[in-house]
Amino acid sequence: MTRKIQSALISVFYKDGLEPIVRELHSLGIRLISTGGTRTFIEGLQIPCTPVEDLTHYPSILGGRVKTLHPSVFGGILGRREDAQDLKEMKEFQIPEIDLVIVDLYPFEETVANTKDEKSIIEKIDIGGPSMIRAAAKNFRHVSVIAHKRDYAYLEKLLKEQNGEITLEQRKDLAARAFDVVTGYDLAIHDYFNPGKAVSSSIPSVHLRYGENPHQNAFFEGNWNRIFKQLHGKEISYNNLVDIDAAIQLIREFEEKTVFAVIKHTNVCGISLRSDTKNAWSAALAGDPESAFGGVLVCNGEIDQTTAEAINELFFEVLIAPSFSTEALTTLKSKKNRILLELFPGTAANRQIRKSLLDGVLVQDADQGNYQKWEEVGGRPSTEAEKADLIFANLVCKHLKSNAIALIKNKQLIGKGCGQTSRIDALRQAVEKAAQFKFDMKGAALASDAFFPFDDCVRMAAAEGISSFIQPGGSVRDKDSIEFCKQENLAMVMTGMRHFKH
């Protein structure tokens, strides 16, 4: 549903970057409504502007604290254009429709950073601005909203390219951006009045025994009951949750049954794909039986009695699976502290809050997918068996801390290197692990989470009998690794998709 803008309410603290928008709106014949300093700015451009007082029939009062808080303003923003009763009331009370709201917010955070004067800080708590932004964003089906000057260029582009018309999808996107601005503003005010205190919300909060270490307090804010059900065991700890999350992210990569994996400190230390659960478990454990001690286990198939008896011999913290047989549960519950989780069907989240740093948080899109392209660049195409192992290896490597190398043979992890400061060191670690547990690396597949900066990795791997490689490519020296693979008749696939994990 595309709507043409007929009128715009503009009230901003910062005027820089506003002029092109105002001129474009004027050239499109859009009526401009404004307040105080913004109105003065617009009129200084020799562009006509309706004072907001003409709508409210009230002057700005209380030292500017009340300017726009009036039904004639909010009715014009919130009125539903398809609702007959709304339209009737707007006509009765002479409330004009407002199709575009451009409002930024008083610089609260900047004021807090620059002064300790409480009076000055309090006066920079915006009331009318957030209210108008929220009203316009709520009514995105009919109204467009700009809540920050960083979106001026985007609005100007839409106005020029679409002749003042904004689509429903674009209005909804602008609403999402606006709510993000208001949320950040409210959080800044909360932090000023509640230093060091987390925001209270309707989201369930669980106090944990301690954090990453015993001297650290911790809590979990969220609802894990939508993801899994705890069937048995002790209270879930902070470190348990970190590894549980890593395990669930990993296992949801695989649709084919049956995959069994072992996680330790968020890294995969064992994983395999087999036709039944017991063999999948045995092959996963064989990948690194030392690291599996005290780990988190995850499977995408039912845990049966045979598998439970095998698993029961190992000390582990958590076992996650979509289902357990009655007999298996009885066996596994023999250890009172052992955490058993029934994993519900679901998909990975689209967005990740990765970590807090520099008095803020990093948010990113989730790393979804395996490869963007499948480009055979080596001395020969990969065989069907190699291709299957390469696809499996790349998914496993994606869930190892960078720099990471995964060695896969017959869909079993036989060696891995992770968290290393150089790629060659990650490969050395992977080769050492494979040798430690007596794996034959001849014919194995190697995955790298990022490009090979030199040909040293492929040379070392080839010396161990590794015959196929998968990596994103993108190094200025890609040709060195490619040429070596061609000389030695080795398969190499470039995916165009890096999988760093820090």
The answer to whether residues 307 and 277 touch, using CB atoms and an 8 Å cutoff, is: yes
Task: Please identify which residue in the block is written with the tokens 């060191």.
Answer: 425
DSSP three-state, residue 373: coil
Q: Check 15, 124, 138, 333 and give the catalytic one.
A: 138
Instruction: Compute how many other C-beta atoms are within 10 angstroms of the C-beta atom of residue 263.
Output: 30
Strand stretches in 136-287, DSSP E = 144-146, 165-166, 205-207, 219-221, 228-232, 259-264, 267-273
CA 64 to chain centre: 40
Q: What is the distance between the alpha carbons of residues 312 and 126, in angstroms, rounded to a whole number? A: 60
Strand pairing report for 360-365 and 351-357: antiparallel
Q: What is the distance between the alpha carbons of residues 468 and 386, in angstroms, rounded to a whole number? A: 7
The residue type found at 337 is N
Q: What is the distance between the alpha carbons of residues 108 and 123, in angstroms, rounded to a whole number? A: 9
Burial of 446 (0-12, 13-18, 19+ CB in 10 A): buried
Q: What is the distance between the alpha carbons of residues 420 and 400, in angstroms, rounded to a whole number? A: 10
Percent helix, strand and coil across the chain, each to the nearest 5: 40, 20, 40
Please name the residues in contact with 321: beta carbons below 8 A apart, sequence gap of 6 or more.
298, 299, 300, 301, 302, 303, 341, 342, 343
- Catalytic, 398? Answer no
- Catalytic, 57? Answer no
Q: What is the distance between the alpha carbons of residues 136 and 158, in angstroms, rounded to a whole number? A: 18
Q: What is the distance between the alpha carbons of residues 9 and 112, in angstroms, rounded to a whole number? A: 28
DSSP three-state, residue 30: coil
End-to-end CA distance of the chain: 42
Write out 411-468 in H/E/C secondary structure. CEEEEEECCCCCHHHHHHHHHHHHHHCCCCCCCCEEEECCCCCCCHHHHHHHHCCCCE
Q: Check 15, 232, 265, 333 and give the catalytic one.
A: 265
* Residue whose C-alpha is closest to residue 242's, from 172, 180, 317, 130: 317
Peptide bond just before 331 cis, omega within 30 deg: no
Please name the residues in contact with 296: beta carbons below 8 A apart, sequence gap of 6 or more.
240, 243, 244, 246, 247, 262, 263, 264, 316, 317, 318, 319, 320
What does the block give as tokens for 453? 């900066």
Which whole-number Å values give the CA distances from 82 to 88, 139, 141, 479, in the listed order? 11, 12, 10, 62
What are the residue numbers of the active site?
A: 138, 265
